Structures are given as C-alpha cells and as structure tokens.
Amino acid sequence: MKNIIWTEDAKNDLSKIILFYNERNGNTLYSKKLVDAVKKTLDLLKNHPFLGLKVKNLDNYRVLIIKNYKIFYKVFPENIEIVLVWDNRQNPEKISDKK
C-alpha cells in the first residue's frame, strides 16, 4: 500500500472547488459528496497505483476521473503524489499553465 501525498497546488485546487460549491449552493452537501468520492477513489488508488490512465506526453503522470474532475498524479516507489485537481469544464489550454 502506498501513501498519498498532496502537493500544495493540488490541495489549493480542491479547496477552491469546495469553496465555490459551498458558496454557490449555500450549503456543504455537494462538497461533502465530492470529497467523499475523492477519498473513496484515493483509497482504491493506494492499493492500485496504476488505476488511472496514462497521460500522453507526460512521463510518470496518470489521471483519474471523478465526476467533472480529473486528478493528476505521479507514482513513486513509496508514495503517490497528487499534483493537480482539474475541473473538466475549464479551458483545457489552461492546464499546461498548472503543470
């Protein structure tokens, strides 16, 4: 089983998404469901680090899709590093600015 490590950028990405839905919806119901879905998926990832799809043109990057979001990560011998949480509804050209 590998440890999951979040980069600061990835933590900030997820926090912004959660805050957006909390403010938009006036409650935390959707945000809690989204966080639960992320946690469940990452629990699977701990035991199956190659679960995500390989990312073209980026060595060692993989991606998981959860609802409208992509979670980009790298696999290392001892851990898995969550690098980016991306809302699929954004302009895909912006993603290169984040990596």
Q: Which of 58, 92, 90 minimizes the C-alpha distance to 73?
A: 58
Structural domain boundaries in the chain: 3-98
SS3 90: coil
- 3-98 domain in CATH 3.30.1490.190? no
pTM of the prediction?
0.87
Q: Which of 45, 34, 99 minimizes the C-alpha distance to 67?
A: 34
CA 9 to chain centre: 11
pLDDT in tens, the chain (99 residues): 999 999 999 999 999 999 999 999 999 999 999 999 999 999 999 999 999 999 998 888 999 999 899 999 999 999 999 999 998 876 566 555 555
